[in-house]
Structure 1
C-alpha cells in the first residue's frame, strides 16, 4: 500500500498542478463594461473656412507650402466636422501655455469619465486601477493624479500615467490592465486614451511635419473594465488575445514618427516616407504571432500551403500581411486605427478586406479625424451605431504607432451592442455618397497673384 502511494504521488502532483493552471486560466479574464468617446462643442468644429483661416495665419508658408497643404487636406479622407484644440481656434497656437494644455485635457478626461460613471452605475470610489495614456503631455502632478483628486478615488488605487507611446497606446494600456488583473481579483479598471493637440500644433514649414496638422484632431475615450466573473452579464466585450510588436531597434522604423524641432526651432511631429515600410514590417510580425491564436487548425494548414506558393512570388515583407487574409474566415469585424486614408487602404488591401469591412475606419477618419490613441473607439462606436455587433462576433483591433509599434487584439462580443454613443446625432447620414473634400472647390484657385491678397487680415482672418 505504501509503495502504491509512493508511485501515485507524482500523478497526484501533476493533477494538482493542472487543476491549479485551470483555476489561474479562469481568473485571467478581462471584460469591458462600457466606453464613452469624447465629442467637442460646435465652436471648435473645423469646416473648410476654419481650416483656411488657420492655414493662412502661418506667415512662414509660401505658395508651394499652401499647395502642398491643399493636396494633403483633399487626399486625407477627413471631412468638415472634426474638432480642433481651443487655442488653435482662437489663434494662440504659436504660444501655447500649460494652463490651456491642462484645460484641453480636463475637458476630455472629465467629460468622458462623468458619462462613463453615470452610464455604468459604478462609483469612482470602486475603481482599483487607473491608466491614462497621453503621449505628448507629461505634467506634475500627473494626469492620473488630476483624475484621482477630481473624483476622490481611494488611497490604494493603482494609477499609471503612460507618455510617449503613440497612437497605439490605448491597447498598451489595456494590456497593462490585463496583466494587473492576474494579481488583483474582482477589480475594476479605468483606461483613458487621448492626446494633447493644443501645445503641439506645428507652426513651421517642413512638409514632413506639416502633415500632422492635416491629420490629427481632438478626441479621446474612457473605458471601464473588470475581471469579476459575477459581472460577466454586464460586459459588452471580452478580451481574447493581445499581441504587441515593437520595432524600436530598427533605425528607420524608430525615426519615422518623431517629435522634434525643425531648423527654425518650431516644435512638431515628423512623419517620414519610411512610415509605410515600418507599418508593413510591424504588422507582418504581429500577424505571424496573432493568426495562429485566432485561426482554426484546418484553416492554418490550408494557409501554409498557399503561403508556400506566395513565397516564391512576393516580397517577404508582405508575406505576413497576406497571411492575415486567412483571418477573414475567423473574424467578423476589423477595427482599424483611423490614422489616415492611405494607412486604412493599405491594411485593407493587404488583408483582402471589402469596402464594407473598411467603412467604419474610413467614416471615423472622415467624421472625427485621427484622434491618436482614442481613434479605435470611434471606429468601434460606428460599428455599434450601425447595429453590426452581434453576440458571439469577434472583432480584430489593429493599431499602429510611433516607436515603431503594432499592437493588435481580438475581442468577443458578449451581447448585441446597440447603445447610443458619440455617433447618435449623425449616424443616419453615414456613409455619405462622396468623401470628397470641398477644399479644392473653394480654394483651388490659389496662385502667385492672389497669394499676397488672401494673406491680408481683411479676408479670412
Structure 2
C-alpha cells in the first residue's frame, strides 16, 4: 500500500518529466529536420553583374537643366522649387538623362521610351555576356523589371528577341514594384533556381524616365524630375554546382516587408493626374516616416538571422528593461549591425534616406560611402542603384573573401527589402567595372 501511495505522489512529477523530455525531443527533431531541409536546398550564387554606363552626351548639369526648363516654358515657381531640391540633392554635374529629355521642346513618346530602355538593357546584358563569354541560349530564367514602363511585348520579350534566347526560357516581367523591384527579382530568381536546380537566371533592372518626366506645377510630383536618373543593371545568378568556383557571392538571406495594408504607406508614392490633367508620380512628405517604419519591421525579421547571439541578448535585455521600468521615452538600444556585415548598400533614393539610415543604425561615414557616392555620380537609378553601389565597393578594392554585404531597398507600396550576400571569391578591381575610369577621384566631399 505504501508503495502504491508513493507511486501516486510521484505520478505528476513523472508526467511533467515525460512531457518536458517529449517536448525537448520534438524540438530537437524539428531542428534536425529543418537543418536537413536547408541542406537539401540548392545554394544560389551571384556569378557577376554589369551596370550601364551612360555616355557623356547624356549628362545633365545644373546649367543645362535650368536652360531646358526655362525654354520649355515651365512655370517660374516650379523652376524655383526644382532648383532648390537639386541644390540639396547630393548630385554631381555628371548624372544623366535620356537624349529626348534634353531636346526643346522635351520629347515624350513610347518610341523614345523604347529607345531609352533598350539602350540601357541591351548594353548591360551585352557587357555581362561578353565578360564571361556566355551563350544567351544557356539562360534558363529571365526576369526584367521596370516599375513605370510596361510595353507590349514585355521588356523580357524584347531581351529574348534581341539575344535570340531559347523558346522554352522561363521569362517574367515585373512592373509597378518601385525602386525595390531589383531585390524582388532576386527573390523570384532564388525561388525559381531552387525549384529548377542546375539553372542560370538573368535579372535586368532598369527604369525609364522619358514618359514620366513631369511638366506640371504640383511640387510633390516635380520631385521625380529632380531625383531619378538614367541607369540599369544586368545580374547573373546560378544554382549550378559547377558555378560555385567562379561565383562572386552566395545568397544568404532575403527578407521582404510590405506595408501596403496601411493607407499612409500605400499612398506615399502614387501615380496620379494633377489638376491640369498631367500625369506624374506624387511623393508624399510622409515618405521618410513610412520608410522608417518599414525598415524597423524588416530589420526585426532580419536581425535574428544575422546578428551574433551576444548582440541579440544585449538588444533583448534593453527591450526588457524598457518594458519593466516603463522607460518608453528612452531611445531603445540599436543593434550593432556592423558586427554582422562588413559592407552596406543602401538604396540611393535620396540624400535624406541615406542620412536617415546612417543615423538610425549608427553607421560610420565609410559604411554609407558607396551609397552617397552612387547618388552623387549616377543619381537615383531606381532598382539598379544597389548594383552601382556594390560595383563601387569592388572598384575600391574593399571586398574580400568571407565579407558579408547587406543590400537595403525601398519602393512604392510601401516596401522595404533586404538581401544578404557572402563573398565567396577574391574580388579584385576589374577593367569592366562601371567606376573604372573615375574611382581614383572618389570619395569626394559633398557640399551640405
Using structure 1 for the length normalisation, give the TM-score: 0.86
Q: Report the CA distance shift for 1:287/1:20 in structure 2 as closer, same or farther (over 3 A).
A: closer
Distance (Å, rounded) in 2 between the aligned partners of 1:168 and 1:354: 24
Q: Report the CA distance shift for 1:124/1:310 in structure 2 as closer, same or farther (over 3 A).
A: farther
Which residue is 1:7 aligned to? Answer: none
> Pairwise mapping of residues 147-186 of structure 1 onto structure 2 (< 5 A)?
147-186=159-198
Which residue is 1:240 aligned to? Answer: 252
Question: Shift in Å at residue 23 of structure 1?
Answer: 6.2
Question: Shift in Å at residue 53 of structure 1?
Answer: 1.5
Q: Name stretches of at least 5 consecutive residues in structure 2 with no aligned partner.
A: 1-24
Which residue is 1:326 aligned to? Answer: 336
> Pairwise mapping of residues 304-383 of structure 1 onto structure 2 (< 5 A)?
304-309=316-321, 312-313=326-327, 323=334, 325-383=335-393
Question: Shift in Å at residue 54 of structure 1?
Answer: 2.3
Q: In structure 1, which of residues 53, 63, 75 is the aligned counterpart of residue 88 of structure 2?
A: 75
Q: Report the CA distance shift for 1:21/1:326 in structure 2 as closer, same or farther (over 3 A).
A: closer
Are 2:144 and 1:132 aligned?
Answer: yes
Q: In structure 2, which of residues 79, 95, 107 is the aligned counterpart of residue 66 of structure 1?
A: 79
Distance (Å, rounded) in 2 between the aligned partners of 1:242 and 1:301: 23
Q: In structure 1, which of residues 378, 385, 403 is the aligned counterpart of residue 413 of structure 2?
A: 403
Distance (Å, rounded) in 1 between the aligned partners of 2:148 and 2:393: 29
Distance (Å, rounded) in 1 between the aligned partners of 2:72 and 2:317: 56
Which residue is 2:263 aligned to? Answer: 251
Using structure 2 for the length normalisation, give the TM-score: 0.89
Distance (Å, rounded) in 1 between the aligned partners of 2:283 and 2:34: 48
Distance (Å, rounded) in 2 between the aligned partners of 1:284 and 1:21: 28
Distance (Å, rounded) in 1 between the aligned partners of 2:260 and 2:67: 38
Deviations 1:369-399 (A, max 9, x none): 0000011111111111111110000001111
Which residue is 1:441 aligned to? Answer: none
Distance (Å, rounded) in 1 between the aligned partners of 2:104 and 2:446: 28
Deviations 1:114-140 (A, max 9, x none): 111111222100000000000011111
Distance (Å, rounded) in 2 between the aligned partners of 1:56 and 1:237: 47
In structure 2, the residue corresponding to 1:335 is in which secondary structure? strand
Which residue is 1:32 aligned to? Answer: 46
Distance (Å, rounded) in 1 between the aligned partners of 2:262 and 2:223: 23
Which residue is 2:435 aligned to? Answer: 423
Q: Report the CA distance shift for 1:49/1:288 in structure 2 as closer, same or farther (over 3 A).
A: same
Question: Shift in Å at residue 274 of structure 1?
Answer: 1.0
Question: Shift in Å at residue 278 of structure 1?
Answer: 0.8
Distance (Å, rounded) in 2 between the aligned partners of 1:366 and 1:202: 22
Distance (Å, rounded) in 1 between the aligned partners of 2:327 and 2:343: 29
Are 2:98 and 1:85 aligned?
Answer: yes
Contact persistence 1:204–1:210 (CA under 8 A): yes
Instruction: Report the count of equivalent residues.
Output: 418
Question: Shift in Å at residue 416 of structure 1?
Answer: 2.3
How large is the Cα RMSD of the aligned pairs? Answer: 2.2
Distance (Å, rounded) in 2 between the aligned partners of 1:264 and 1:176: 39
Q: Report the CA distance shift for 1:104/1:229 in structure 2 as closer, same or farther (over 3 A).
A: same
- Larger mean CA deviation between 342-351 and 410-419 belongs to 410-419
Distance (Å, rounded) in 2 between the aligned partners of 1:309 and 1:221: 46
Which residue is 1:6 aligned to? Answer: none
Contact persistence 1:74–1:436 (CA under 8 A): no
- Larger mean CA deviation between 27-36 and 276-285 belongs to 27-36
Q: Report the CA distance shift for 1:160/1:205 in structure 2 as closer, same or farther (over 3 A).
A: same
Question: Shift in Å at residue 108 of structure 1?
Answer: 0.6
Question: Shift in Å at residue 409 of structure 1?
Answer: 1.2
Are 2:67 and 1:56 aligned?
Answer: no
Distance (Å, rounded) in 2 between the aligned partners of 1:381 and 1:227: 22
Distance (Å, rounded) in 1 between the aligned partners of 2:37 and 2:242: 15
Distance (Å, rounded) in 1 between the aligned partners of 2:145 and 2:256: 16
Q: In structure 1, which of residues 193, 204, 214 is the aligned counterpart of residue 216 of structure 2?
A: 204
Contact persistence 2:78–2:222 (CA under 8 A): no
Distance (Å, rounded) in 2 between the aligned partners of 1:352 and 1:417: 28
Question: Shift in Å at residue 25 of structure 1?
Answer: 3.0
Contact persistence 1:132–1:192 (CA under 8 A): yes
Question: Shift in Å at residue 78 of structure 1?
Answer: 0.7
Which residue is 1:41 aligned to? Answer: 55
Which residue is 1:456 aligned to? Answer: none
